[in-house]
Amino acid sequence: MGYTLNFGAVWRNFDFLLHGLMLSLGLAVTSILIGAAIGLVLAFALISKNRFAVVPARLYVTVLRNLPILVLVLFAYFALPQMGFRLDKIKSFVLVLSVYSGAYLAEVFRAGLLSIPKGLTEAGLAIGLTSMQIRTSIIAPLMVRNVLPSLSSTVISLFKDTSLAAAIAVPELTFAARKINVESFRVIETWMITSALYVATCFLIAALLRFVERRLALPR
Amino acid sequence: MAKTILDIRGLRKTYGQHEVLKGVDCAVQEGEVIAIIGSSGSGKTTMLRCINMLEEFQGGTISLDGEEIGYHVEGTARRRKSEKEIARQRALTGMAFQQFNLFPHMTAAENVMLGLIKVKKMAKFEARAIAETWLDRVGLASRVDHYPGQLSGGQQQRVAIARAIAMAPRLMLFDEVTSALDPELVGEVLQVIKGLAADGMTMLLVTHEMRFAYEVSSRVIFMNQGVICEEGNPKEMFVRPKTERLAEFLKTSSFN
Ligand SMILES: Nc1ncnc2c1ncn2[C@@H]1O[C@H](COP(=O)(O)OP(=O)(O)OP(=O)(O)O)[C@@H](O)[C@H]1O
Ligand SMILES: [Mg+2]
């Protein structure tokens, strides 16, 4: 039985897909920014000498990295309200993806912190900076430069995880595609275009990060 | 009569079981330039690092202008001061390291300005003016906006010295600041230190450059196995060492 490709239905709904993509990006950007803040704090805790910092941070990272994100998404959306935390779909998903990104970014950041020479911290201490000032003015900016080359795979992976929001009917790209699919029956066309949008966006993210990396490169 | 700036009494420092400083006593008067010499592992670096609280120490006291560094001591009880207090005390002594330790993501000027802005709470333009003055003093007026990666080792070390001096410390500590440099770059850094000595800066310098120690210092301290073994006027010590140990050390070192 022949199947003739007909993209008409998909093009007519292309706006709807783009809206979905914008929401996917919005979810990813918000969650990754919050996750980066969480990851930064965790990374400093992971490399600290204080057991009361290391143990909880290690526990957080280990638990979250061993949970399927879909389970977290469903847990936050269905179980948390039972426990008295009622969040709308989008907030619930952002919460999950932020917490989850935090665990992955913590590991990336930790690796970036380890390669910063101890002498820089000592130079900072010697001029009278506090540990917190050293972290914010010296260590964090250098860590970011260290991790940028390896950051894109994590960021892209987190962006792709936004498709799991479809499971709780957040109208992001995957959910939008499913809706078009169901209404138009153009199965192949819908998923082809949707795949192309994901791939193109991932390329753009990688290109953007490479651009940032070049902009922040230290002159020599 | 000169005033005592730094007073070290019975300084003891251990790493685990290993006692590295075994009771160091040393008083430094304002304007003194003290060269600290001694063989590898004798505790020279450790002593400087204790003065700047980069290392904890287990016994004795260090006081700067009469104020105890790092610890509150009451009778036999001893308690580390707060981080904030220690940070303030660290700003009173400047330190230059063998490895320069410049902040690589900041220009020469920004390296110097950081402490002025964050610790001394100066406005940016004020800090910039001071940074330019000191970079000019170390001969780097034309390198103010260069990044460390764009500077030679000698230039980096001079920026590092400017960064420390700009904080107007009471005391400067130098730990083998020329050891990581190519021989042809050593002179420019020693020149800067000589200039500071001429200004009357109080300095403790750990060095393997015996000729330089001889020329610039007003007093030499010879450390051996965690204690001060001999000290005195360089003109005396280098020519007529009193202890066997120092005589031996001088024989094996580059001084001639
Ligand atoms: N972090 C550390 N942990 C354990 N032992 C240390 C540590 N730092 C230094 N030591 C030991 O302390 C002793 C004194 O070291 P220190 O660096 O003060 O010597 P130094 O006189 O500066 O020597 P050099 O001329 O080689 O720089 C050495 O035996 C060294 O092995
Ligand atoms: Mg040393």
* C-alpha distance from B53 to closest chain A C-alpha (Å): 8
Ligand nearest to the CA of B42: 1
Of B104, B119, B147, the CB nearest to A129: B119
pTM: 0.91
- Residue of minimum CA distance from atom 24 in ligand 1: B40
Contact B147 A145 (CB under 8 A): no
State pLDDT tens for residues B84-106. Answer: 999 999 999 999 999 999 999 99
Q: Which residues of B touch A (CB under 8 A)?
A: 52-54, 83-84, 87-88, 90-91, 93-95, 97, 99, 101-105, 114-115, 118-119, 147, 149-150, 160, 163-164, 167
Question: Residue A151 burial (CB < 10 Å; 0-12/13-18/19+)?
Answer: buried
- For range A154-175, the mean pLDDT: 96
Contact A145 B105 (CB under 8 A): yes
A145 or A3: which carries more pLDDT confidence?
A145
Chain A residues with CB inside 8 Å of B153's CB? Answer: none
State pLDDT tens for residues B158-191. Answer: 999 999 999 999 999 999 999 999 999 999 999 9
- The answer to whether the Cα torsion of B146, B148, B153, B157 is positive or negative is positive
- Tell whether the model's pLDDT for residue B144 goes beyond 80: yes
A180-200 CB burial, b ≥16 within 10 A, e <16: bbeebebeebbbebbeebbee
Task: Give the 3-state DSSP-derived string for chain A, with helices as H, strands as E and coil as C.
Answer: CCCCCCCHHHHHCHHHHHHHHHHHHHHHHHHHHHHHHHHHHHHHHHHCCCHHHHHHHHHHHHHHHCCCHHHHHHHHHHHHHHCCCCCCHHHHHHHHHHHHHHHHHHHHHHHHHHCCCHHHHHHHHHCCCCHHHHHHHHHHHHHHHHHHHHHHHHHHHHHHHHHHHHHHCCCCHHHHHHHHHHHHCCHHHHHHHHHHHHHHHHHHHHHHHHHHHHHHCCCC
State pLDDT tens for residues B45-75. Answer: 999 999 999 999 999 999 999 999 999 988 7
* C-alpha distance from A12 to closest chain B C-alpha (Å): 50
In a 13 Å sphere around the CA of B150, the CA atoms on its Cβ side amount to 15
- Residue of minimum CA distance from atom 8 in ligand 1: B46
pLDDT at position B145: 97
- Residue of minimum CA distance from atom 16 in ligand 1: B43
Residue with tokens 């990006």: A25
State pLDDT tens for residues B200-240. Answer: 999 999 999 898 999 999 999 999 999 999 999 999 999 89
Chain B residues with CB inside 8 Å of A122's CB? Answer: 54, 97, 101
What is the distance in A from the centroid of ligand 2 to the CA of B32?
21
- Tell whether the model's pLDDT for residue B255 goes beyond 60: no
* C-alpha distance from A217 to closest chain B C-alpha (Å): 9
- For range B111-137, the mean pLDDT: 97
The DSSP-derived string for chain B is -PPEEEEEEEEEEEETTEEEEEEEEEEEETT-EEEEEE-TTSSHHHHHHHHTTSS--SEEEEEETTEE-SEEEETTEEEEPPHHHHHHHHTTEEEE-TT----TTS-HHHHHHHHHHHTS---HHHHHHHHHHHHHHTT-GGGTT--GGGS-HHHHHHHHHHHHHTT--SEEEEESTTTTS-HHHHHHHHHHHHHHHHTT--EEEE-S-HHHHHHH-SEEEEEETTEEEEEE-HHHHTTS-SSHHHHHHHHHSS--
Chain A residues with CB inside 8 Å of B93's CB? Answer: 126
* C-alpha distance from A133 to closest chain B C-alpha (Å): 8
Contact A128 B115 (CB under 8 A): yes
Q: How far apart are CA A12 and CA A184, in angstroms?
A: 10
- For range A36-40, the mean pLDDT: 97
Of the pLDDT bands very low, low, confident and very high (cuts 50, 70, 90), residue B195 is very high
Q: How far apart are CA A165 and CA B245, in angstroms?
A: 75
Whether ipTM tops 0.85, in short, is: yes
- Residue of minimum CA distance from atom 22 in ligand 1: B45
Of the pLDDT bands very low, low, confident and very high (cuts 50, 70, 90), residue A6 is confident
pLDDT at position A12: 87
pLDDT at position A210: 96
